Structure 1
Amino acid sequence: MLKLGLTGGIGAGKSEVSRLLAGYGAVLIDSDRIAREVVEPGTPGLEAVVAEFGTDVLTPDGRLDRPRLGGIVFGDQERLHALNAIVHPLVRARSAELEAAAGPDAVVVHDVPLLVENGMAGLYDLVVVVDATPATQLDRLVRLRGMDESEARKRLAAQATREERRAVADVVIDNDGPLERLEPQVRAVWREASARVAADRHAERG
């Protein structure tokens, strides 16, 4: 098994890279998706979030109001740390379960937006950073996601810098241009990861 940590700033295009890798055959463990699952209604995670932030972060039907919670934590490091302290251990535990279920020949892609911020680079055999300029990220958030520009800037400012992400990368994927430039880079990463798994398995067999 090869554990690949995939990260990138919001709007950098990490989701497209993870989609391509999954299409090649990678086992994808999406931290964002798991983070939503662990705060579904009735979970201990949601109970803990409400205990910390109050019932104002719930929708009328009892679900987590993500935009409202985002408005509270982004731009306020103390509140963001409080939220992360609740959610991240739950995400890590579920990710470990999914990884354990993958076979020995698997390339397991951990899609982790806050890999750098949480000092997780050492957990992976290969760290891949999807990179784009802040201007490109801002444009995608506003133009493609319909995010308010001031809110988008707050989200960008709350994350690691481009330089900090690149500093921990084994591979940097440039996603500042058109989509057709992305796929060959991702395919090359897949080939490298697959080759490393094959070499490790061959060594184990002696």
Structure 2
Amino acid sequence: MSAGIHHATRLGLTGGIGSGKSTVARMLVELGAALVDADQIARELTGAGGAAMADIARTFGADFLDATGALDRPRMREHAFAHPAARQQLEAIVHPLVGRVSEERVQAALAAGHRLVVQDIPLLIESGHWPRQLSAVLVVDCRESTQISRVVARSALTPAAVQAIMASQASRQQRRAGADIVLYNDGLSLPALQAQVRLVAQRFGL
């Protein structure tokens, strides 16, 4: 554990698809942490009437909006995988807004007296922006074969589709290298995972 981590108030949480990151986030909240979920904020911003939608419609056209005026996520996902420049355009619209709303919610949680604010950030390692704002980084890690089997079991995605998503994310090695704490979530029962999360929470005064 790095010096000073026990004084941290902002814990970055990340992990690849199927790592169990969302489960760990929920357990930390149950132990008293506040959660700021970047993915949830992005969904709000790209929902009907969301703050990102006018720029998205202007950049990509009405074909990428669904009947409610929200982002047509499956269509955009397919387009962004096929055209990396489109993904960069979308991120240039959405990411600054996510950052601003995240910061507002972090400050509100700190002002409300939360000792620990967990920032769930899927692209934390890929971003040069987030780590500078965080007191520490927690990475939820597991084998790639485990990621694939978990996501296939819970969704309509094929193994090849899951592998394509994984290929677009940071590698396990990159995530682990950027971590202050690695929680290895492979072959653990839920009670065993809860025990690991409780140890992490104790390091932050919860």
TM-score by length of 2: 0.89
8 Å CA contact 1:121–1:127 kept in 2: the answer is yes
CA shift at 1:68, angstroms?
Answer: 1.2
Identity %: 42
CA shift at 1:49, angstroms?
Answer: 1.5
Matched, 1:106 2:115: yes
Residue number in structure 1 paired with 2:5? none
Write the deviation string for residues 127-162 of structure 1: whole angstroms up to 9, x where unpaired.
000001111111111122221222212111100001
CA distance in 2 between partners of 1:47 and 1:148 (Å): 33
Which of 135, 145, 156 is the equivalent residue of 1:125? 135
CA distance in 2 between partners of 1:77 and 1:165 (Å): 22
Which of 159, 166, 174 is the equivalent residue of 2:169? 159
Once superposed, what is the RMSD of the aligned Cα atoms? 1.6
8 Å CA contact 2:48–2:68 kept in 1: the answer is no
After superposing the two structures, state which structure 1 stretch, 31-40 or 137-146, moved more: 137-146
8 Å CA contact 1:75–1:158 kept in 2: the answer is no
CA distance in 1 between partners of 2:32 and 2:82 (Å): 38
SS of alignment partner, residue 47 of structure 2: coil
Summarize the alignment of residues 1-206 of structure 1 with structure 2, pairs less than 5 Å apart.
2-74=9-81, 76-102=83-109, 103=111, 104-119=113-128, 120-178=130-188, 179-194=190-205
Residue number in structure 1 paired with 2:3? none
Write the deviation string for residues 100-142 of structure 1: whole angstroms up to 9, x where unpaired.
1123552000000000111222221110000011111111111
SS of alignment partner, residue 96 of structure 1: helix
CA distance in 1 between partners of 2:153 and 2:70 (Å): 28
SS of alignment partner, residue 64 of structure 1: coil
* Counterpart residue identity of residue 192, structure 1: R
CA distance in 1 between partners of 2:52 and 2:98 (Å): 10
After superposing the two structures, state which structure 1 stretch, 152-161 or 95-104, moved more: 95-104
* Counterpart residue identity of residue 115, structure 1: L
* Counterpart residue identity of residue 146, structure 2: T
Residue number in structure 2 paired with 1:201? none
CA shift at 1:75, angstroms?
Answer: 5.2
* Counterpart residue identity of residue 101, structure 1: A
* Structure 2 residues not aligned, in runs of 5+: 1-7
TM-score by length of 1: 0.89
